[in-house]
Structure 1
Amino acid sequence: MAREFQQKVFWLAVVAEFLAMTIFVFIGIGSAISFQVVPTTNVTAVQDNVKVSLAFGLGITTMAQSVGHVSGAHLNPAVTLGLLVSSQISILKALLYMLAQVLGAIVASAILHAVSPNKHVLGLNQLAMNLSPGQGIVFELIITFQLVLCVLATTDKRRTDLTGSAPLAIGFSVTLGHLIAISQHAFVGLQLSTHFSLARKCRQFSSLLIYWVGPMIGGLAASLIYDFILAPRSCDLSDRMKVWASGEMEEYQLEREEGSARVEMKAK
């Protein structure tokens, strides 16, 4: 772990995650500000679900294409948790990534707060009146589950059938999540650190449980199902612990038993 901490590429990845998250949240929340309640009239403008969903989807596609080769462009603590459980990053990198994501979201919301004439809400997540907190958690769990599953599947280096763009596929996943969630939420909680930054700015932490517990469980479930059921790895616990401690991972070659759909990985 100490050796990884001393590597320049490690810190470049953390900085890239911070910068990408700042830009991503600025784009996403900026697209949502236009339909917040106007203080002088107390009237809520018509919400453009498609506009906001596309802003988030295209924003994450752009950032994934821009810094994906540097940090992997997680841009979501739930994605980072999923990749940690999947033994693709170390515990140290996961913790610093989450910190960078939250700080990036806070900086983005602070900039929007400074430049926006509509400062009182700024897109704070709130459940629709007909949803209970438990229903909200389930909603966030399922939406994040499909996102993390998409990330794991489209970035799996063992696959030889991938011909499209992973950032574009992930962008579609984010767009779909927002399209369905915005209709049930005043603002979608798909991006955990986004909500944290807005709750901090507005001093409203009551719904943080919904927008963190649900997505984190969804990310954890997606990783476990993909890594142990859909595309199981042959590496044992000692190999996984090595990755969690030092971030090092052996290269694997993909082998399939004839007549079997089970995927096996063996070290080269």
Structure 2
Amino acid sequence: MSEIKTWAFWRAVLAEFLGMIIFIFIGLSAAIGDRNNSFPDQEIKVALAFGLAIATSAQCLGHISGAHLNPAVTLGLLASCQMSLLRAFFYMIAQILGAVAGSAVVYGIRPETTHSLGVNKLNGISPGQGLGVEFLLTLQLVLCVLTVSDKRRDVGGFAPLAIGLSVVLGHLAGISFTGCGINPARTFGPAVIQESFNDHWVYWVGPMSAGVVAALLYNYLLAPREEPFREKARVLFCCGSTQENGICEPLLEDV
């Protein structure tokens, strides 16, 4: 509970909130774009908007909060014992509120002729198929985040770009099927504003389960750590040493 008393903690939570507003504003603004344009270049524009928004936010806010901007990423880092339960909880709340606020801003400034708000919907596939798409696309994203935030690797200043390209990749592959959620907060924001929750559970269960599976795969099969689990688990309650607690803000902290 000691970290909740620090300004650094609340600055990080605020960074997640503000970063999410900007991310959602840019992404949804690109998504609603020209409602008469259904050609592939529209999908490319949306994919680049979401990916570059994440990359820019990561560059700007990575040293403050880690720039998770995604509950699935936060859950993956929590499952990796890289942040405390308390921090993860507040991050997710900030991300959800930021997504709702960002969606409300887009809703308020959109043209009167535009009724869309970029709500994610299944397109010609079943909920089960949508679940599989969301799971796999989020899996590659969280694996990318875990890889570039691994202190055993030196990715230099390319971490934000790598994560942004991972988001672009997910959108290029998934927009035609699910609208590409891969971020429960991003899906929740516009759904709340327009009160549209058809198959909404798909966009929570798929990405959140992928975040946990990605953490287990990376930390126990692909790149296991020698540190005992009991020592790693101390970070969940922020009761480890100073060095251990230093990874409470693990993502892109050196950028």
Question: Matches of 2:64 and 2:44 in 1, distance apart?
Answer: 30
1:234-260 CA distances to partner (integer Å, 9 max, x unpaired)?
A: 2223223310001756648xxxxxxxx
Aligned to 1:142: 136
Aligned to 1:209: 201
Higher alpha-carbon Rg? 1
Amino acid in the other structure paired with 2:5: Q
- Tell me if 1:75 matches 2:74: no
Question: Matches of 1:244 and 1:232 in 2, distance apart?
Answer: 18
Change (3 A) 1:119 1:93: farther
More displaced 10-residue stretch of structure 1: 191-200 or 49-58 = 191-200
Counterpart contact for 2:121–2:198, Cα < 8 Å: no
Amino acid in the other structure paired with 1:182: I
Question: Matches of 1:152 and 1:232 in 2, distance apart?
Answer: 12
Match of 2:163 among 170, 181, 184: 170
Question: Matches of 1:79 and 1:217 in 2, distance apart?
Answer: 11
Aligned to 1:222: 214
Higher relative contact order (CA 8 A, sep 6+): 2
Q: CA deviation at 1:205?
A: 1.6
Match of 1:125 among 115, 120, 125: 120
1:99-144 CA distances to partner (integer Å, 9 max, x unpaired)?
A: 0000000000001111102553301111112x10000000000000
Q: CA deviation at 1:193?
A: 0.5
Aligned to 1:231: 223
The structure where helix makes up a greater share of residues is 2
Counterpart contact for 1:102–1:193, Cα < 8 Å: yes
After TM superposition, the score normalised by the length of structure 1 is: 0.86
Counterpart contact for 1:152–1:226, Cα < 8 Å: yes
Counterpart contact for 2:19–2:67, Cα < 8 Å: yes
The number of residue pairs the alignment matches comes to: 241
* Structure 1: runs of 5+ lacking an equivalent: 37-43, 253-268
Match of 2:52 among 55, 58, 83: 58
Question: Matches of 2:239 and 2:85 in 1, distance apart?
Answer: 8
Amino acid in the other structure paired with 1:183: S
Question: Matches of 2:70 and 2:94 in 1, distance apart?
Answer: 10
SS of the residue corresponding to residue 56 of structure 2 reads helix
Change (3 A) 1:239 1:119: farther
SS of the residue corresponding to residue 46 of structure 1 reads coil
After TM superposition, the score normalised by the length of structure 2 is: 0.90
Alignment of 1:171-210 (within 5 A): 171-185=164-178, 187-210=179-202
Q: CA deviation at 1:152?
A: 0.4
Match of 1:107 among 101, 111, 124: 101
Question: Matches of 2:180 and 2:223 in 1, distance apart?
Answer: 30
Aligned to 2:6: 7
Aligned to 1:257: none
SS of the residue corresponding to residue 189 of structure 1 reads coil
Amino acid in the other structure paired with 2:175: I
Question: Matches of 2:31 and 2:101 in 1, distance apart?
Answer: 17
SS of the residue corresponding to residue 183 of structure 1 reads helix
Match of 1:49 among 31, 37, 43: 43
- Tell me if 1:151 matches 2:145: yes
The structure where strand makes up a greater share of residues is 1
1:25-56 CA distances to partner (integer Å, 9 max, x unpaired)?
A: 100011011144xxxxxxx5325010000001
Change (3 A) 1:169 1:90: same
How large is the Cα RMSD of the aligned pairs? Answer: 1.6
